[in-house]
A and B are shown apart, each in its own frame.
Chain A
Amino acid sequence: MSISQATAFQPAPRTSLSAWVTIVLFLPPAILLFTVFVAMPMGEAGWYSFYNWNGYGRPEKFIGLKNYGYLLDSAPFARALLNNGLIILASLLIQLPLALGAALLVNRRFPGAVWFRMIFFLPFVLADVAAGLIWHFVFDGDYGLVSSVTTFFGAPPFFLLADKTWAFSAVLIVIVWKYFGFHMMLYIAGLQGIDKSLLEAAEMDGAGPFQRFRYVTLPLLGPMIRLSIFFSVVGALQLFDMIVPLTGGGPFDTTNTMVSFLYYFGITRMRVGFGSAVGVVLFLICVTFAFVYRRLFMNDD
């Protein structure tokens, strides 16, 4: 597809040497760091999943696949799985279009553009402990914004986070709020990489703004959009930060994600082996997704 690939297959002797020097110099530091601090700990953590271990000392009680058995029997885990699915849907249908829209609006230089970009990005920067507390206040039925709405309509106080059915929608709102700025930044970077001359040429040919977007911008933004979806799905599967301060997984374990389930049922209960089993299952789900996604969209081949 790319000419540089063709060039690589027919290197001049000098290019070949340069290529090898590059590979030897550029790759090992990253690979080494990654192996030591990520791959190895991950592997060991996976190994813990076969043990009943409380985190003290070394794992001793080997129990084989029992942790996985407990996991499959666990109703809260099934609910967590469902929640992750809902988050993915919300991300793809609401958050990403919102981020793209925001990126398109703030991508140029106009008075105040920088401030808007900053404001949209701020939720991502705000520490979760504060965000969780404040959103708790937003949804508070007695004093929060929700209560302002209910009193305005003369309705009795409604406690969103205490409600089994609706608590999770509150969580979704917070998630969209928190991460759309991150994706907006990705799209802005992507938009910056689009050659202005192509847009100008399209305009000269008489294309209106919507057509320019559809036929020039969108296709050129394709790789970044695919990446953004990838991050979005993987991020949604790994989501944990906001759940703890916002709902603690409740009420009745209806707002857990897989990682918050891992945290509450594994780590805080000092069942490290069980937590690792959750981690392994999550990892397998992510790997399957990554594999399928790459195959389908030929993203990174």
Chain B
Amino acid sequence: MTDSAAPAAAPIVPFSRATGPVGQVLRYGILIVVAGIVLIPLWATAIGGAKDLGELRSNPFGLPSVWHWSNYTDILLSARYWQVLGNSLIIALLTVFLTLALSSMAAFTFAHLHFFGDRFLFSYIQLGLLFPAATAILPLFIKIRDLGLLNSHWGIVLPQVAFSLGMGVLLLRNAFKQLPAELLDAAMIDGCGYISYFFYITLPLSGPILSTVAVISFVGSWNNYLLPLIVLNSESRYPWTLGLMAYQGEYSTSWQLVLAFITLTILPAILMFLIAQKYIVAGLTAGAVKG
């Protein structure tokens, strides 16, 4: 079962059985270098928020000569920050929930059931991926208005879900099809219907892909700017992307405040990612790697 070059059978599950400490060093080395490069812009964003405008321009990557913590604390202490964050969170969570629900149901149907026109409908849904949303804004606005959803969170959530369906159905159908077919047959023989199968077998076994769809959907909603802009009129409903406008003027923008604000608003998205991570890589302990 194990290799002759047995790596440390430590509490930490060894991540590669064929290479020992050298492999580990190599792995960490590569990861750290790549992570460093990737992080540079993010680092600059975070420290940029603590500078004043002029220094941001002349010294974008160095540490601030004077740490303007007030940029950050002013934001954290303002009620507006929490209000826009709350709005963004409500919208994003609703979007994620509905996207997962509708996509998984549709994907399941496409994966296992075949009926006249099923392929047509599947392609139909994928059309959403192929058309730039920016062009459809005006007619979309009219639809939302006609349905009485203007200035409401649902006016944002529902179109967002609709546009995510293409991605969600594609990913989920692919994953559902990869589940062993024998499971379905056995379930059928035992008298289980499709719907029960969906809830008791398919969904629980699809943790990783569902979490992935959830994260992508969350981030898409979190950063969405155009749709909330045209749907919402009341400032009290603004998500953080619209709340950002307070720092942008007609001719000039307080970039340092923008960066501070964005650094703070990225945190919930990161939190969402970390939570989803548990489900994405949960499979590790499920089919335990023997050391």
Contact = CB atoms under 8 A, between A and B. Distances in A.
Interface string A128-171: 11110111011010011100000000000000000000000000
13 contacts: A15-B193, A30-B106, A33-B162, A36-B147, A39-B124, A108-B15, A126-B45, A128-B223, A130-B259, A143-B59, A144-B61, A275-B134, A282-B132
A7 B134 contact: no
Contacts of A121: 215, 273
B246 to A, nearest CB: 14
Interface stretch (A40-48, A62-70, A73-81, A247-255): A40-48
A58 to B, nearest CB: 10
Given A21-B195, A137-B44, A27 B109 contact: yes
B81 interface: no
Contact of A145 (B19, B40, B162): B40
B22 interface: no
Interface in A270-284: 272, 275-276, 278-279, 282-283
Given A36-B143, A134-B45, A189-B212, A27 B121 contact: yes
Interface size class of B (residues with CB under 8 A): 35 or more
B174 A223 contact: yes
A96 B78 CA distance: 42
A34 B28 CA distance: 44
Given A143-B60, A192-B281, A193-B175, A114 B274 contact: yes
A107 interface: yes
Given A30-B105, A45-B138, A188-B280, A133 B255 contact: yes
A57 to B, nearest CB: 11
A215 interface: no
A109 B13 contact: yes
A121 B34 CA distance: 12
A216 interface: no
Interface of A: 2-5, 7-9, 12, 14-15, 18-19, 21-23, 25-27, 29-31, 33-34, 36-42, 44-45, 48, 55, 102, 105-114, 116-131, 133-135, 137-138, 140, 143-145, 177, 181-182, 185-186, 188-189, 192-193, 195-197, 200, 203-204, 208-209, 223-224, 227, 230-231, 234, 238, 240, 259, 262-263, 266-267, 272, 275-276, 278-279, 282-283, 286-287, 290, 300-301
Given A30-B105, A55-B138, A192-B283, 19 more contacts: A2-B181, A14-B193, A15-B194, A18-B195, A19-B194, A23-B113, A25-B105, A26-B105, A27-B105, A31-B121, A34-B124, A105-B31, A182-B216, A185-B215, A188-B212, A192-B281, A193-B283, A282-B132, A283-B130
B105 A223 contact: no
B259 A21 contact: no
A225 B103 CA distance: 20
Contacts of A192: 208, 280-281, 283
Contacts of A223: 174, 177-178
Given A19-B113, A37-B140, A126-B45, A262 B178 contact: no
Interface of B: 1, 3, 12-13, 15-19, 24, 27-28, 30-31, 34-35, 38-42, 44-45, 48, 57-61, 102-103, 105-106, 108-109, 112-115, 119, 121-122, 124-132, 134-136, 138-140, 143, 147, 158-159, 161-163, 165, 167, 169-171, 173-175, 177-178, 181-182, 184-185, 188, 191, 193-195, 198, 208-209, 211-212, 215-216, 219, 222-223, 241, 244, 255, 258-259, 262, 265-266, 269-270, 273-274, 277, 280-281, 283-284, 287, 289-290
A192 B211 CA distance: 12
Which label, helix, strand, loop or mixed, suits the secondary structure of the B interface? helix
Nearest to B44: A134
Nearest to B136: A41
B138 A37 contact: no
B16 A209 contact: yes
A225 B19 CA distance: 26
With most chain B CB atoms within 10 A of its CB, the pick from A117, A193, A203 is A193
B223 A127 contact: yes
A30 B122 CA distance: 11
A110 B289 CA distance: 13
